[in-house]
Amino acid sequence: MRRRYLLGAGLAIMVAGMAQSALAQSGEIKIGEINSYSLLPAFTEPYRKGWQLALEEVNAAGGINGKKLVVVSKDDSGKPADATTAANELVSSEKVVMLTGTFLSNIGLAVSDFANQKKVFFLAAEPLTDAITWSKGNRYTFRLRPSNYMQAAMLAEAAAKLPAKRWATVAPNYEYGQSAVAVFKKLMSEKRPDIQWVDEQWPPFGKLDAGPVVQAIAASNPEAILNVTFGADLVKFVREGNTRGLFKDRAVVSFLTGEPEYLDPLKEETPVGWIVTGYPWYDIKTPDHDKFIKAYQAKFNDYPRLGSIVGYQTIKAAAAILIKANSEDPEKMIAAAEGLTMPSPFGEITFRKIDHQSTLGAYVGKTAVKDGKGIMVDSVYRDGKDYLPSDAEVSKMRPKD
Amino acid sequence: MAFYFVQFLTGLASAASLFLVASGLSIIFGVTRIVNFAHGAFYMLGAYVAFTLTERFSGALGFWAGIVVASLVVAVVGVLVEMVLLRRIYHAPELFQLLATFGLTLMVQDLVVMIWGPNDLLGRRAPGFRGAVEFFGQNIPTYDLFLIALSPIVLGLLWLLFQRTRWGVLVRAATQDRDMVAALGVNQKWLFTSVFALGVFLAALGGALQIPRDAVHHALDLRIIVDVFVVVVIGGLGSIIGAFVAAVLVSELNAFGILIFPKISIILVFLVMAVVLIVRPWGLFGKQEAPARRTPGLTVNPWRPLSQGERIAAWAGLAVAAMLPLVSGDYALTVGSEIAIFVIFAASLHFLMSVGGLASFGHAAYFGLGAYGIAFLAKMAGLPMIACLLLGPLLGCLGAAIFGFFAVQLSGVYFAMLTLAFAQIVWSIAFQWVAVTGGDNGILGLWPEKWAAGPASFYWLSIGIAALAVAALRIITFSPFGYALRATRDSLLRSEAIGIDAKRIQWTAFVIAGTVAGVAGALFAYLKGSVFPDSLGISLSVDALVMVLLGGVETVSGAVIGAIVYKMLSIWLVSQTDLSKLVLGGVIVLMVVAFPKGIVGMLETLRNLRRRSEPAKPALLKSRIEGAE
């Protein structure tokens, strides 16, 4: 078994390679960033552009108390186990002071647990699962995006005003879809005890067989439909639903559909009048957003997606935390981040002390078609802080540190 | 009533798209025996190329011509792949072609994003088939009706092609007995190429026809490839009618199943396949294969235990590996631990595949069961780490004992697909049973105890267990049990004739392999600190297959090298580039061409060439080897 020789030799080569990159220059502060670049390029490409822009702005404004901010970015190939490997590399050999990023909920949770174990500060950018700040929350993990619960609360507020009493749901069969439906149902039933849930469909994520699903929903004859599918599943669902007349005279409430990532592929087939959460970049007229969009378009010659906002604000928030903490000690960073308020393209946001969730909100509006493209109209910004449960409920859900 | 009729038609429309792709796969497998993992990639390419063409040339003619031309273009790509790549490796060990097509699939996934961009693309609707017809208050899309009509037409045309043309006769003959067709002087090269072209054409056509209903995106291939394989196997390999019936069966069960169990889709095809294979071991329309005429024992170099020198070298190698913590940082040690764990995992599959001749497509099930075993013991029973490490793999052992019992009744690809079905069933239980397994959010917080928490201690623990596992598997290989197992692999009939209880021997081997995989999974859970359903998933099973094939399936311990090379390469590439799949796929394809016997297999061949001075093999044996090849 001379294979063992090779094991040793191979590892030695690897070690040599790593020793180089471990030489961090003084005068730099490194942040480690992990995301599913190869698995979900439709989201992560704009996301990357967003954080690149933020990084440039931070360093142009003097960096982190005079030190240059550096982002080391790694791909997790969409697997929690690979994400842990990447996190390990970033912390052990790149010597980053903070981890950020992640898209999928299970990857966010894996990295958050890693951060808790290794006592590293982790700013989760995108994962939506409520568990990451509540039932599986820990003191090292903060989250930027409005959670599943917050988005469900925003949509339920609008949906409760509809006259519809018979509701059907369709959601991808994994944690995100399951908890989105569960929270929405709970909040709706509190507001509207008269509502009946007549059908639920759980297609596997990415494998929606649209015809039978649309037909099954139509057969239950609902007055309104809650949709949680997105991406390619959404395209199939919309196309089949349009052809079969599923959405005719029915209200539809839909998670994430207003985000350009998911709305733009629908083009002229965009269904009209769905109540959605999303990002109508063409309609937001705040000074902070104007500044962001001008800089973004000048740098990339492209319009921003929601991922751009998430990437941009993640690095902005990371920088704000590091500047305030003025230290590489994770405990000091936690102290700095708790209750920290900062501007964002959507308005002022705060990282709550109680559960480390940011109060970044989302836009709620209706879908429409203009010039053969899907857009959001009548959009209103819903501030995240108004759509969170009471502090007592939160502390009941969140384990003590 | 109208609703059920319409739901039935909807199911038929879903079946149509499945059938087109499945028929192509079935034809290719029937004749060339290639497990064409890239079939999904050709499907996806068909959709992308058709998207480009139909956007460019509008109008009814532009659309339909675009669909056909796209399928032809992709078929040409398929021919190139066959001529440049696959032709070189038809004589490689069984399943080796899987490795080549897997590498291609990886490359295509990145290539389509580079060419067509990352966004989901919405193709045109088919001219003339945009709307729906009403049927007693229910709407049926006209495009569905078109697909429903198309698939019997394709089936009929294929039937005519195979029954009424000389080419079809040759293809059927080759499906039944390749060697005999070759002996009769048929040019196999071109027969294989043309069959491959037809299969790829059908796959691409299936993809192109999806653009009016689906979004075109870079994950289309993985979404369809497994389902298509399942359909082909349910129908019976090489049977076109079988593929048609299976596609209809699966689609209709899904269409009606979701009315009662809305969550059934995730597992339905695998349940159907498991039931069908247990009842009918060769699929619905398949026939029992004649016992293979090839005698692998003659074509490979005879195995022998390590010589004294090699044993010392192995110890020295292990000692060198154990010194790694003296020179390297924490990250390298963690990567080293991960590689050691995959050495165990790959070695366990290698034991099943090369010693037992049983290629499992679902070996991750036992790896994942070991990991979940740890999670349950540590989180629920609160046992200490040592106890967990000893008991956790037993869950893998138990799973292997149950599933192995059914699986070893089958052989060849049917065995492989039944193991895949079992793995997917276990996966879906882990995925769905949120209350116990946490669903896809997994079980967190499984970190090792203090004595093993440091990267160096965990690394020593991992390589120690890896060395033990590999040594134990080698000892078993050269034990009387190992010889009996190899006898069942080389000739089932002869081994049974001399009184070996083949099924029992194979079952035991399956349990051994499952338990060792469970050990790897148990360590993996502690290494990562968490367990997710991924650790039971198809991609992990495929990784294990790739490691074994890369190392060399005809070697005693090639998987060790295969695991080290593949894992190191993939961790390094994922860390260095977002195009890791493209590069990794490219490297795999190159290795396939350079080392058609796997890395270790090639090294052994080279070593044997150097020993030419040894007495030549007796002439009789030589002629038998040639005959066997």
- Give the pLDDT confidence score for residue B301 in this predicted structure: 62
Distance CA A311, CA A144 (A): 10
Minimum Cα–Cα distance from A175: chain B residue: B440
User: Does the distance separating the beta carbons of B265 and A1 come in below 8 Å?
Assistant: no
pLDDT at B184 over 60: yes
B2-279 and B328-602: identical CATH topology: yes
State which H helix or E strand residue A310 sits in.
helix A306-325
Distance CA A81, CA A399 (A): 24
User: Does the distance separating the beta carbons of A203 and B444 come in below 8 Å?
Assistant: no
B108 phi and psi angles, rounded to 5 deg: -65, -35
Helix axes B142-164, B2-32, angle to 10 degrees: 30
Residues of A in contact with B138 (CB under 8 A): 215, 218
User: Does the distance separating the beta carbons of B110 and A84 come in below 8 Å?
Assistant: no
- Give the pLDDT confidence score for residue B504 in this predicted structure: 94
B11 phi and psi angles, rounded to 5 deg: -60, -40
- B351-371 confidence digits (pLDDT tens): 999 899 899 999 999 999 999
Distance CA B141, CA A211 (A): 9
Nearest to A232 among B120, B254, B534 (CB): B120
- Give the pLDDT confidence score for residue B620 in this predicted structure: 47
* B214 lies within 8 A of chain A by CB: yes
Nearest to B141 among A5, A17, A244 (CB): A244
What is the SS3 assignment for B65?
helix
- B12-64 confidence digits (pLDDT tens): 999 998 999 999 999 998 888 888 889 999 999 999 999 999 999 878 889 99
Nearest to A22 among B119, B143, B329 (CB): B329
DSSP state of A97: S
Reported as a pLDDT band with limits 50, 70 and 90, residue B291 is: low
Minimum Cα–Cα distance from B217: chain A residue: A232
* B105 lies within 8 A of chain A by CB: no
What is the SS3 assignment for A375?
strand
DSSP state of A214: H
- Give the pLDDT confidence score for residue A18 in this predicted structure: 45
The answer to whether B230 touches B109, Cβ cutoff 8 Å, is: no
- Give the pLDDT confidence score for residue A301 in this predicted structure: 95
The answer to whether A133 touches A141, Cβ cutoff 8 Å, is: yes
User: Does the distance separating the beta carbons of A79 and B530 come in below 8 Å?
Assistant: no
Disruptive mutation site among B303, B575, B583 for chain A (greatest number of A CBs within 10 Å): B575
Disruptive mutation site among A209, A262, A268 for chain B (greatest number of B CBs within 10 Å): A209
- B465-512 confidence digits (pLDDT tens): 999 999 999 999 999 999 999 999 888 888 989 999 999 999 999 999
pLDDT at B297 over 80: no
Q: Secondary structure of B406-472 in the HEC alphabet?
A: HHCCCCHHHHHHHHHHHHHHHHHHHHHCHHHHCHHHCEECCCCCHHHHCHHHHHHHHHHHHHHHHHH
DSSP state of B94: T
- Give the pLDDT confidence score for residue A144 in this predicted structure: 96
Dihedral sign (CA B603, B605, B606, B612): positive
pLDDT at B615 over 70: no
Mean confidence (pLDDT) of chain B: 88
Distance CA A110, CA B442 (A): 9
Minimum Cα–Cα distance from B114: chain A residue: A41
Please give the class, per CATH, of domain B2-279.
mainly alpha
pLDDT at B627 over 50: no
Domain ranges of chain B: 2-279, 328-602
Helix axes B502-528, B480-490, angle to 10 degrees: 110
CB neighbour list of residue A166: distance below 8 Å, 6 or more residues apart: A195, A196, A198, A220, A221, A222, A223, A224
Minimum Cα–Cα distance from A46: chain B residue: B118
Reported as a pLDDT band with limits 50, 70 and 90, residue B594 is: confident
Q: Which of residues 310-329 of B touch A (CB under 8 A)?
A: 310-311, 313-314, 316-318, 320-321, 323-324, 327-329
Residues of A in contact with B118 (CB under 8 A): 41-42, 44-45
pLDDT at B623 over 80: no
User: Does the distance separating the beta carbons of A93 and B331 come in below 8 Å?
Assistant: yes
The answer to whether B211 touches B50, Cβ cutoff 8 Å, is: yes
Reported as a pLDDT band with limits 50, 70 and 90, residue B310 is: confident
Which whole-number Å values give the CA distances from B597 to A378, B90, B333, in the listed order? Answer: 64, 11, 31
pLDDT above 70 covers a percentage of chain B that reads 95
* Burial status of residue B281 (CB atoms within 10 A of its CB: 0-12, 13-18, 19 or more): middle
Reported as a pLDDT band with limits 50, 70 and 90, residue B206 is: very high
Quick check: pTM over 0.95? no
Which has more confidence, A393 or B297?
Answer: A393
* B602 lies within 8 A of chain A by CB: no
Q: Is the ipTM value over 0.90, yes or no?
A: no
Tell me which CATH code domain B328-602 carries. Answer: 1.10.3470
Q: Which residues pair with A28 in a beta bridge?
A: A68
CA-based nearest residue to B71, from B177, B205, B198, B195:
B205
**pLDDT lower than 70: segments of chain A:** 1-26, 401
Minimum Cα–Cα distance from A109: chain B residue: B441
Distance CA B344, CA B558 (A): 12
Distance CA A293, CA A119 (A): 36
Nearest to A77 among B255, B327, B580 (CB): B580
